[in-house]
Amino acid sequence: MTSRTPRDSRLRLVRNRPMATARRPAVNRGSRPAPRPPEGTPPPAELARRARAGLTGAVAVAHWAAAEHGAPGALSDEAAARAAAALGLSEPEVRSDWDRARLIGLIEHHAGTTRPGWRLQAWDRDDSAVLRGWVALLDAWSLACPAPAAAEPTAVAEVVEAVPQLLSLLQLSAGPMQISALLDMLRQRVAELRTERCEVPQDATELRDATEPQEPARGAGSAGSPDDAEDTATLEGLLDWALDALSSVGALTVREEPQDGPDGPESAGSAADDAKGDSREAELSALGNWAVWVKLEQICVAAQSPAGNIEQPAADMLRGCAGLTPGPARAEYRAWLAARPVGSAVTELIEAARGDDALLRGLAFEALRVVGAPAEPAVRAVVDESCLRPYALLWLAEHEGADPDEALDALTREEATWLWVDTAAAISDHGESPLLVRHLESAVQGTVPALLEEVRAVGHPRTVQVLVALAAAHPDPALAKAVRRAAFQVHTGGA
C-alpha cells in the first residue's frame, strides 16, 4: 500500500518481536521448591474436616436459608425466631451463625433476598473450598465477633491492625505464649502505629518548644505510646476480646494454666509479674497455624519475586502488577493482602480506585475480587460514586454468583457507556493503539454514531482525550473524522 503522505498512525508503545523472543508469562518464576508446612501440620483433608466440624452451625443456617427459597437479605426478628425454632438454637446463636455463613460465602445476598452460595454446594466434596471459606472467616474475625460497644473505635482499629503481627509471632514461636508477652507485643505495635500517624510539623514543634515551659518527662506513653495505666487497661481488654474472637473461629486456644516451654517456664515469655492474665497462655490451633503459615509463605514468595510489591502502597502495587498476566498478578494481590489487615487493605484499594488512572481503577477491583466477602461492605458503600459505580456493580454481581460474561447485564446502558470510556482511557494511557481500535467493537451500541452520541452525553472527564486517541488510531479516515468532530463538540460544549 502506498500513500502520498506516508505515515504510520499506529501508536506502538513496544516494538514488534518474534513470538519466540517475546516476554512470556512467568510460569517458571520460582525455581524455589514448593514449601512444606510446619512439622506436625495435618494434611489438607484433616484440616478441612476440622473446619467443617467448627462451622456446622453456619452450614445449618445456610441450608435453612436455602430451604426458605428466598430468605430476607437482613435477618429479621421473625426470621431469626423461625430459624431458631427449626434448628433448635437460640436467636443469638442463629444470628452469629448467619453472620458467619455470609462471611464464609455459604449464603449470598441478591436483590434483597438471600440465596445459597456456590461454596455451600461444594462444602461436602471440595476440601479446598472449605479451607478458603475458613480463611475468609479468619480474615474477618473482627466482624464475626464485634468489639465491645463501649470500646473506643480508634483503639479497636489499632488492635485489629496489630493482630496479624501477634498471629505471626504465635506461629513462629511454634508453641504456647504467655498472654503477658502478647500484651507487650501489642503495646509495642500500637505505639508504632500511633507514631506513624503522628506527623507534627517541625516548625510548629520548634515554636512550641521555644514559647512553652518544659514539663517533666512522663515516659514514652506521653508521646503516643500506650504506656499509661488507662491505655494499658484498654489494650488488655481489647486483647482479651481479640483472643476470644480468634478462639471462637477456631484459630487458637487460651489456657488458664501455663505449660513449660522447651527450656522451662521461663521460655514462655518475659513480662511484668503484675500484668493481667500472666498465668494464661495462647497457642494456635492446627488450622490457625496452617493459615498463618500460608500467609507468611505468600509474603516470602512475593518478597523474592521480580515484582516484589509487598511493601508498596496500593497504587504502586497495582502499577507494578499492570504488566503481569492474570495468574501472577493474583499471586501478587494475595501476597500484598496477606501482609496487612483486610480492612485497611480494602480501604487502600478503594482509595487507589478513586484516583485519575483508569487502569488502576480496574486493577483495584481485580484485587478486591481476591479479597472476596470481607470487601463486600466497602464495595457496597461506593456504589453511589460515579467513577466507581460500574466497577462496584460488576463486582457485586459476580460476588452474588453471576457469570463474569453476563455480569454486564447488571449495568444500565449509561453505566456501560461510562465503563467503556473509562476502559478506553486506560488503554489510551497504557496500551497499544490497535487494542484501542478493537475496544470500539466491545461497545454496547450497535453503530459508531450511536456510540459517539451516548459517549458525549455520559459526561466522563476523559471523553475528549479518549476520542482524540481513537481518531488518531483508527485506520478509517471517515470514521476518524467523525470521532474528531465528536471530540471537538465535547471540548467546546456543543451538541
Q: State pLDDT tens for residues 303-342.
A: 655 556 777 889 989 988 888 888 888 888 888 888 788 8
pLDDT at residue 246 in the model = 92
Burial class (CB within 10 angstroms; exposed 0-12, middle 13-18, buried 19+) of 446: exposed
pLDDT at residue 446 in the model = 66
pLDDT at residue 46 in the model = 92
pLDDT at residue 272 in the model = 41
Residues of the chain scoring pLDDT < 70? 1-35, 69-74, 109-113, 198-228, 257-278, 299, 301-308, 433, 444-446, 491, 493-495
pLDDT at residue 162 in the model = 86
Is the entire prediction scored with pTM above 0.75? Answer: no
The closest alpha carbon to 159, from 274, 237, 247, belongs to 237
List Cβ<8 Å contacts ≥24 apart for 298-303: 298/331, 298/334, 298/335, 298/338, 299/335, 299/338, 299/339, 300/35, 301/30, 301/32, 301/331, 301/335, 302/331, 302/332, 302/335, 302/336, 302/339
pLDDT at residue 309 in the model = 72
Name the CA radius of gyration of the chain, rounded.
Answer: 27
Reduce the DSSP state of residue 303 to 3 states and report it: helix
H helices of 76-117, in order, are 77-87, 91-104
Distance, CA of 84 to CA of 325 (rounded, Å) = 48
pLDDT at residue 258 in the model = 59
